[in-house]
Amino acid sequence: MVELTEYHHDPIVCRACGTQLDSVSDPYGTTNRPTTGAFTLCIVCGEVSVFEVAEDGTVTMREPNFVELEIFNREGKALIKAFMASRLKRGR
């Protein structure tokens, strides 16, 4: 069974829709915090971003580069399916 893990952080503004995002969820249940280079999706608009985590722990998001978008195009469907399955199991 997939267990969704959540991590709360200082608000980050989605680059696409301006939504204030203050937590991340890992549909694979493997981590409790974002890591540099990990993909993220805005829960409101679905924009794909990439996490950057500074040495002091500050979390930001940036636009993915071309290579990262190619990777997301190959692996993103599995991420989205896992996320949706975990949300359904939690009744959200």
Q: What is the pLDDT of residue 65?
A: 96
Q: Which domain holds residue 86?
A: 5-90
Residues 50, 59 contacting (CB under 8 angstroms) = no
pLDDT tens digits, residue range 37-75?
988 888 888 889 999 999 998 889 999 999 999 988 888
Q: What is the mean pLDDT of residues 18-28?
A: 81
Q: Which residue has the tokens 């009744």?
A: 91
Question: What average pLDDT does the structure give for the chain?
Answer: 81
- According to DSSP, the residues that pair with 52 across neighbouring strands are 60
Number of domains comprising the chain: 1
- CA atoms 34, 52, 8, 72: torsion sign: negative
Q: Could you tell me the pLDDT band of residue 1, with boundaries at 50, 70 and 90?
A: very low
If one compares 29 and 10, the residue with the highest pLDDT of the two is 10
